[in-house]
Amino acid sequence: MGKLKIKTGDTVRVIAGDHKGAEGKVQKVFKDDHKAIVEGVNMVKKHTKPSAQNPQGGIIEKEAPIHVSNLALLTSKGEATRVGFRMEGDKKVRFSTKSNEVI
């Protein structure tokens, strides 16, 4: 598997698909599936049976995973950028290829 360039806590923008233009924070990354859950993006309605945690049951809205190829990382100025890796001393760091700043 290749290395993912998006991590939990990153702010990203959706660049393709139904939710194009939406922005949010990455809550969880699924490395094996190359997918991520982004806060407030790709909301789906899920029918739940009554359980101990949710005695009422019913329909809940939750985020569904979205493929990382449809996400672009945002810089501190809020512009979409690609991600590169480089060595700074003996540390491997991610950097924005647009502004050359370390993420």
- 27: in domain: yes
Of 21, 13, 1, nearest to 68 by C-alpha is: 13
Question: Could you tell me the CA-to-CA distances from 94 to 18, 43, 58, 73 in Å, in that order?
Answer: 28, 29, 43, 11
Whole-angstrom Cα distance, residue 51 to residue 75?
Answer: 42
For the chain, the domain total comes to 1
Residues 12-48: pLDDT tens digits? 999 999 999 999 999 999 999 999 999 999 999 999 9
- 6: in domain: no
Q: What is the CATH number for 24?
A: 2.30.30.30
- 90: in domain: yes
Give one word for 86, left, alpha or beta, with left for phi > 0 and alpha for psi -120 to 50: beta
- 4: in domain: no
Q: Report pLDDT for 3.
A: 81
- 86: in domain: yes
- Determine contact, residues 39/22, Cβ cutoff 8 Å: no
**Boundaries of domain holding 43:** 11-96
Q: Report pLDDT for 70.
A: 96
Of 25, 20, 65, nearest to 44 by C-alpha is: 65
- 82: in domain: yes
Q: What is the pTM of this model?
A: 0.84
Residues 57-99: pLDDT tens digits? 899 999 999 999 999 999 989 899 999 999 999 999 999 999 8
Whole-angstrom Cα distance, residue 67 to residue 45?
Answer: 19
- 3: in domain: no
- 64: in domain: yes
Instruction: Give CA 28 to chain center in angstroms.
Output: 7
